[in-house]
């Protein structure tokens, strides 16, 4: 007994109340005046009928009838049925009795279906106004189009919500929409014998149970039988509904672009095939929506299954129409299955953060138990169970007898219901068993009929939607808050001082102000003497002037004005510094305090006046001759020459000039990455983000540093934040994918790479659009303008289409065209990637079946009117190479290796010349010279005219000491039409080689090329050295002066300036230059020896002589 009491408590059943309030605009067989009643049904059971009510054209039929059914909570099937089974309300006219008539005759007018889904979303009461759809033979069927539609007001309510707030956060609702099978096997004939077309798939409803979702009664249509542009979805289990009542209110098949689909046949090459299949070929249409309620355990099971296998089996089959038999026969279990196929739907996108829907065309394969097990780890299929479910659904869908009330229960009816309910019970989840290996060894039988799906390239349009994403995506505000917690933002302005410090500062400012006023009085009082300059000096004239000034201040009242000006600041000092806010009771204490205050005020008066006088006497600081960009250039130049101390000095100077510029900290952080000072790099990137919380590159680099230190949760936050700051940044999405790949989160990595590819293509499309001539744009506008009226006309379609009515026939849409002259590729560099571009608009804005052209004739496809399709922009640079370029610049070698590996394995990548050049750059950074040389040789084999490959080969030879080969590579690089990535270092090293070979004229010209493009101290020093060796002392001095302006701490510049001055007999300047050269640390023994020789020859230049 104790164990029973401790078990989980099951909530008692809850009554679901359906109140039919009234019906408006009713019309009977005898006119507007009629007696009517309503019948309410749910789950193939009648919940009751209302009393008959009179109504006229002016007065609505007030039923106010309440029906109810119990919702139990001991079985998840009950909530699942509420999700996909509607409440059906039938409006029935009661005809007046005729003579000798015992019972009243009735006539079915129309039906409406009430959706109970809001109850599963936490609502406990809602009202719906529904359209009453006429039934066959009803007088409503012949109503004129301009007549007001019959409407029904229904209220659904429960006393307590079916799901609590906590449950709503844990449960989920899966919606499966089975739309159309396109390009079916050629043997399928719309005019042949009728068949039943079924689609089925398993959906978990608990941790260990699955329900079989079946979409049955697909309608086969010929290619000439066009669909309506607004296709409304049907109830999966309509029950006794007929006509327009089988459609779900306000639920339509969406129209999407090919580019936005998730399934197969999404490439540009498949467009023509899909247009033909969807416009001209036979198809099977369901347009059925099935909702599945999943409790928390089912959600977790569903998520785990997707993570394990990724694909989900969706089976499709054709069965013959069962013959009518009396009673319960055995044919149900022996129904043959033809054309058994399966579509493997990739549900992995549902595990992407924030993704709630997938929709696409999924190709149908021949069903094979062996293949299904290999791909989904499931034993067997669902075909037999699906047929039993479909048979039960079709049996229960038989309508009531026309014109009568609910018929009497047939014999054996209860047994049939029990049997049907038993057969639609969910199956236990199919799991691989221990003897699965022995079964897989057996050669599976060949499915010849199923192979026809493959031959015909059949595909099934399918949509799967979740109410809440399986993997929630952190909103931007949450990410921003988390980043601010990890790296607090730096305040924009200096913190205001308060209290005693602020009071003293105010006193200083007031003293300075009063001092300026007194000085102005003095100047005006003795203006004549000051102008003539004969102001007498000495103690007596000074005392006389002081007395005269004090007399003037007292008689004019300005003395008291100055005292009042100082009074407020003195009061603040008393209150804030000395904390005196009350009157003194002891006179001695008062005198002591006043004495102390007087001493303090006099001291602070001198401090305040000293600040003013020191500022006036201070020599103004001249503005710097170099800006931030030049300092960065000098630092990068020092990096190339491996002079890291000088490079660090330049980076620190940039920060000292402006500590509030995040880019300065970022560049210094990348330099610290190069010298492998990770801790200092982390601090620099922290400063970058604290200054600017939206600095994308700073967020990315801080995430990389955290990933290197295995702080993965923090790294993920910063990578995600970067994608939120710039959603169209290809680089941010790629690095996020590389991070997930590093922690072996394959699904998240796949999602990030997909997003990066979308952005890359969108950026390329934006480039193409911006490069298009105005004439082409005008042509596209004119062609696109014709589609707008059609789109406006298409919207005005009936709310509820009829499958048995007249089909809407149309031709193909006209996609926009672009001149063929603009098919060239675009390269997207890493610098332009973060800027992002607008999302690429597809050439076909809507599905062809969803946007028919007006006025097209039945079965006449207008292929000749289709203009050429807009070429797809193909970025010349892949997302991984964009990441590689960025990572090489910021010296993030681990991530760079990962990106290069992905580029090598990418379908659009591979071992290209750019790949080998990037790999060689990485090896050079890691000082692996032999491997770098091998990669460069591979790059030159693939592209012998790649300037970057020759330039890096020259750098490699230069580092190895092979000066001759390095010079040859550099000269070849300069001979190409296209420049290499980094020309400055090429000019400097080639010119230095010319200096070593005494080719001073070539060295001078090469150094001048470097000065022309990007002048620096090193380049002007080279010009000066070459000119000095050529004997052009004037030009040498000018060049050395330019170098000295850019960097006045370079010892070589001072050394050569001393040589020039010695040659031109300028003793003082020669000595000064020599002293400065020694002061800044000239270490070049050869240059020092040359200076000493010339000093001895001319007899001056060295103060030690």
Q: What is the DSSP string of 686-727?
A: HHHHHH-TT-HHHHHHHHHHHHHTT-HHHHHHHHHHHHHH-T
- pLDDT value at residue 581: 79
- Which among 424, 176, 119, 121 is positioned nearest to 290, based on CA atoms? 176
d(CA 631, CA 654): 7
Helix (H) or strand (E) segment spanning residue 287: strand 283-294
d(CA 1058, CA 200): 92
- Which among 961, 959, 915 is positioned nearest to 941, based on CA atoms? 915
d(CA 707, CA 742): 9
Report the DSSP beta bridge partners of residue 209: 428
Q: Count the alpha carbons within 13 Å of 807 in the hemisphere toward its beta carbon.
A: 18
Q: Is 152 helix (H, G, I), strand (E, B) or coil?
A: strand
Q: Is 15 helix (H, G, I), strand (E, B) or coil?
A: strand
d(CA 169, CA 205): 16
Strands (E), 415-458: 427-428
- Which among 1081, 1016, 1022, 1080 is positioned nearest to 1045, based on CA atoms? 1016
Rounded (5°) CA angle 260-261-267 = 95
Do residues 214 and 204 lie in contact, with contact meaning Cβ atoms separated by under 8 Å? Answer: no
Name the one residue in this structure whose structure tokens are 């164990």.
3
Name the one residue in this structure whose structure tokens are 């001249």.
622
Q: Are strands 133-134 and 172-182 parallel, antiparallel or unpaired?
A: unpaired
Q: Are strands 172-182 and 209-215 parallel, antiparallel or unpaired?
A: unpaired
Do residues 1087 and 1052 lie in contact, with contact meaning Cβ atoms separated by under 8 Å? Answer: yes
- pLDDT value at residue 220: 92
- Which among 20, 27, 179 is positioned nearest to 114, based on CA atoms? 20
d(CA 67, CA 47): 6
Count of other CB atoms within 10 angstroms of residue 353: 16
pTM (two decimals): 0.74
pLDDT along the chain (1105 residues), means of 10: 53 91 86 87 91 86 92 87 92 80 81 93 92 88 84 93 90 93 90 89 89 91 83 87 88 81 84 88 92 92 91 92 58 74 93 91 91 88 85 64 38 42 42 40 69 92 93 88 88 63 83 84 78 74 82 84 85 81 83 87 85 62 80 91 90 91 93 92 93 93 93 93 92 94 91 91 83 55 42 37 41 37 35 38 39 38 45 79 93 92 85 91 90 91 90 91 91 89 91 92 93 92 94 93 90 93 90 90 89 87 72
Count of other CB atoms within 10 angstroms of residue 105: 13
Q: Count the alpha carbons within 13 Å of 429 in the hemisphere toward its beta carbon.
A: 17
Do residues 874 and 889 lie in contact, with contact meaning Cβ atoms separated by under 8 Å? Answer: no
DSSP state of 460: E
Q: DSSP alpha helices (H): ranges in 289-382?
A: 296-309, 369-376
Name the one residue in this structure whose structure tokens are 């953060």.
353
Dihedral (CA of 276, 279, 283, 288) sign: positive
- pLDDT value at residue 769: 79
Tokens of 425: 């019970």
Max Cα-Cα span within the chain: 150
Name the one residue in this structure whose structure tokens are 């603009």.
822
Phi-psi region of 161 (alpha: psi -120 to 50; beta: other; left: phi over 0): beta
User: How far is Cα of residue 588 from the mean position of the Cα atoms in its chain?
Assistant: 75
d(CA 215, CA 178): 7
Report the DSSP beta bridge partners of residue 312: 345
Tokens of 712: 């993965």
What are the phi and psi torsion angles at 463 (to 5°)? -135, 130
Do residues 861 and 809 lie in contact, with contact meaning Cβ atoms separated by under 8 Å? Answer: no
d(CA 1033, CA 1044): 16
- Which among 341, 337, 348, 349 is positioned nearest to 372, based on CA atoms? 341
SS3 annotation, 193-206: CCEEEEEEEEEECC
d(CA 269, CA 670): 43
Burial of 1094 (0-12, 13-18, 19+ CB in 10 A): middle
Name the one residue in this structure whose structure tokens are 């062809």.
848
- Which among 64, 717, 762 is positioned nearest to 353, based on CA atoms? 717
Residues in CB range of 449: below 8 A, 6 or more apart: 185, 338, 339, 340, 366
Rounded (5°) CA angle 279-281-285 = 85
Count of other CB atoms within 10 angstroms of residue 738: 29
DSSP state of 117: G
Do residues 553 and 516 lie in contact, with contact meaning Cβ atoms separated by under 8 Å? Answer: no
Q: Is 424 helix (H, G, I), strand (E, B) or coil?
A: coil
Long-range CB contacts for residues 923-931, cutoff 8 Å, separation at least 24: 924/952, 924/955, 924/956, 924/959, 925/674, 925/888, 925/891, 925/893, 926/893, 929/956, 929/959, 929/960
Tokens of 827: 């390269």
Do residues 50 and 202 lie in contact, with contact meaning Cβ atoms separated by under 8 Å? Answer: no
User: How far is Cα of residue 462 from the mean position of the Cα atoms in its chain?
Assistant: 24
Q: What is the DSSP string of 44-102?
A: TEEEEEPPPEEE-SSS-EEEEEEEEEEE-SSSHHHHHHHHH-PEEEEEEEEPPPPTT--
Q: What is the DSSP string of 974-1001?
A: HHSSSPPS-HHHHHHHHHHHHHHTT-HH
Long-range CB contacts for residues 215-219, cutoff 8 Å, separation at least 24: 215/176, 215/178, 215/286, 215/288, 215/290, 216/390, 216/393, 216/394, 217/286, 217/390, 217/394, 218/181, 218/284, 218/285, 218/286, 219/284, 219/285, 219/286, 219/803
- Which among 744, 763, 767 is positioned nearest to 755, based on CA atoms? 763
What are the phi and psi torsion angles at 28 (to 5°)? -100, -170
């Amino acid at each position: 007994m104790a164990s029973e009491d401790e078990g989980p408590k099951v909530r008692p059943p809850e009554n679901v109340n359906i109140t039919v309030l009234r019906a408006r605009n009713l019309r009977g067989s005898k006119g507007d005046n009629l007696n009517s009643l309503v019948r309410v049904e749910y789950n193939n059971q009648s919940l009751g009928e209302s009393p008959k009510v009179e109504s006229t054209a002016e007065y609505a039929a007030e039923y106010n009838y309440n029906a109810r059914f119990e919702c139990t909570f001991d079985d998840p099937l009950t909530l699942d049925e509420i999700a996909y089974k509607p409440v059906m309300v039938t409006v029935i006219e009661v005809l007046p009795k005729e003579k000798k008539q015992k019972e009243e005759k009735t006539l079915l007018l129309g039906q409406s279906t009430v959706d109970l889904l809001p109850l599963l979303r936490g609502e406990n009461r809602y009202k719906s106004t529904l359209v009453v759809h006429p039934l066959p033979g009803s007088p409503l069927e012949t109503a004129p189009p301009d007549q007001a539609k019959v409407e029904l007001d229904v209220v659904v309510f429960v006393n307590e919500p079916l799901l609590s707030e906590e449950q709503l956060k844990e449960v989920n609702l899966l919606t499966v929409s089975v739309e159309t099978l396109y390009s079916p096997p050629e043997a399928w004939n719309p005019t042949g014998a009728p068949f039943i077309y079924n689609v089925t798939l398993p959906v978990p409803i608990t941790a260990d149970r699955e329900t079989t979702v079946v979409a049955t009664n697909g309608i086969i249509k010929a290619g000439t039988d066009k669909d309506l542009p607004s296709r409304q979805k049907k109830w999966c289990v309509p029950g006794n509904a007929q006509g327009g009542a089988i459609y779900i209110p306000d639920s339509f098949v969406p129209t999407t672009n090919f580019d936005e689909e998730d399934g197969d046949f999404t490439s540009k090459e498949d467009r023509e095939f899909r247009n033909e299949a969807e416009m001209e070929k036979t198809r099977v249409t369901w347009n059925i929506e099935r909702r599945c309620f999943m409790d928390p355990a089912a959600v977790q099971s569903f998520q785990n299954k997707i993570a394990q296998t990724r694909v989900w089996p969706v089976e499709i089959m054709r069965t013959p129409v069962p013959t009518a038999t009396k009673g319960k026969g055995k044919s149900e279990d022996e129904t043959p299955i033809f054309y058994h196929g399966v579509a493997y739907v990739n549900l992995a996108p549902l595990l992407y953060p924030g993704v709630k829907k997938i929709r696409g065309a999924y190709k149908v394969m021949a069903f094979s138990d062996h293949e299904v097990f290999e791909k989904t780890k499931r034993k067997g299929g669902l075909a037999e169970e699906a047929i039993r479910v479909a048979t039960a659904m079709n049996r229960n869908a038989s309508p009531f007898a026309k014109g009568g009330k609910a018929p009497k229960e047939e014999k054996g009816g209860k047994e049939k219901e029990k049997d049907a309910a038993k057969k639609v019970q969910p199956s236990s989840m199919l799991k691989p068993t221990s003897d699965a290996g022995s079964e897989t060894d057996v050669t599976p039988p060949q499915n010849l009929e199923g192979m026809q799906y493959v031959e015909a390239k059949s595909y099934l349009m399918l949509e799967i939607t979740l109410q809440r994403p399986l993997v929630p995506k952190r909103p931007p505000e949450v990410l921003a808050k988390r980043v601010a917690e990890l790296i607090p933002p730096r305040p924009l302005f200096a913190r205001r001082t308060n209290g005693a410090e602020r009071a003293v500062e105010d006193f200083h400012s007031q003293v300075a102000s009063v001092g300026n006023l007194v000085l102005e009085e003095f100047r005006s009082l003795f203006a004549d003497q000051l102008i003539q300059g004969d102001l007498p000096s000495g103690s007596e004239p000074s005392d006389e002037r002081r007395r005269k000034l004090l007399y003037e201040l007292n008689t004019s009242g300005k003395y008291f004005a100055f005292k009042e000006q100082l009074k407020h600041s003195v009061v603040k000092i008393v209150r804030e510094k000395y904390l005196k806010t009350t009157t003194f009771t002891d006179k001695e204490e008062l005198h002591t305090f006043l004495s102390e205050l007087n001493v303090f005020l006099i001291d602070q008066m001198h401090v305040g006046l000293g600040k003013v006088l020191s500022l006036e006497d201070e020599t103004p600081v001249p503005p710097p001759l170099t800006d931030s960009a030049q300092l960065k250039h000098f630092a990068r130049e020092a990096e190339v020459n491996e002079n890291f101390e000088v490079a660090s000095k330049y980076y620190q100077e940039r920060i000292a000039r402006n500590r509030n510029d995040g880019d300065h900290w970022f560049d210094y952080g990348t330099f610290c990455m190069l010298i492998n000072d990770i801790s200092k790099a982390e601090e620099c990137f922290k400063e970058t983000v604290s200054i600017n919380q939206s600095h994308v590159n700073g967020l990315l680099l801080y995430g990389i540093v955290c990933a290197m230190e295995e702080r993965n949760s923090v790294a993920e936050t910063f990578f995600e934040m970067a994608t939120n700051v710039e959603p169209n940044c290809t680089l941010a999405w790629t690095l996020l994918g590389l991070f997930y790949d590093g922690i072996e989160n394959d699904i998240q990595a796949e999602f990030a790479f997909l997003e990066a590819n979308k952005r890359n293509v969108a950026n390329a499309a934006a480039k193409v659009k911006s490069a298009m001539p105005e004439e082409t744009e005008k042509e596209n506008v004119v062609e696109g303008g014709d589609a707008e009226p059609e789109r406006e006309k298409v919207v005005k379609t009936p709310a509820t289409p009829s499958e048995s009515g007249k089909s809407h026939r149309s031709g193909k849409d006209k996609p926009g065209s672009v001149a063929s002259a603009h098919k060239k590729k675009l390269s997207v560099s890493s610098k332009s990637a973060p800027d992002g571009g607008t999302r690429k608009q597809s050439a076909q804005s809507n599905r062809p079946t969803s946007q028919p052209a007006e006025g097209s004739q039945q079965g006449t496809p207008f292929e000749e009117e289709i203009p050429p399709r807009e070429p797809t922009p193909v970025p010349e640079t892949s997302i991984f190479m964009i990441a590689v370029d960025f990572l090489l610049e910021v010296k993030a070698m681990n991530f760079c290796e990962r990106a290069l590996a992905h580029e090598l394995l990418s379908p659009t990548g591979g071992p290209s010349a750019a790949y080998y050049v990037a790999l060689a750059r990485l090896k050079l950074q890691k000082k692996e010279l032999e491997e770098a040389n091998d990669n460069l040789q591979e790059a030159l084999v693939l592209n012998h005219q790649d300037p970057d490959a020759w330039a890096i080969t020259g750098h490699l030879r230069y580092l190895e000491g092979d000066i001759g080969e390095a010079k040859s590579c550099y000269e070849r690089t300069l001979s190409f039409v296209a420049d290499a990535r980094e020309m400055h270092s090429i000019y400097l090293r080639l010119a230095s080689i010319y200096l070593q070979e005494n080719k001073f004229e070539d060295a001078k010209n090469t150094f001048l090329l470097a000065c022309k493009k990007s002048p620096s101290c090193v380049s002007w020093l080279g010009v000066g050295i070459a000119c000095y060796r050529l004997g052009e002392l004037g030009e040498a001095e000018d060049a050395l002066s330019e170098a000295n302006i850019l960097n006045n701490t370079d010892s070589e510049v001072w050394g050569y300036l001393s040589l020039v001055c010695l040659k031109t007999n300028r003793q003082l300047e020669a000595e000064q230059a020599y002293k400065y050269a020694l002061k800044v640390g000239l270490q070049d023994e050869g240059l020092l020896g040359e200076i000493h020789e010339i000093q001895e020859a001319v007899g001056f230049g060295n103060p030690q002589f």
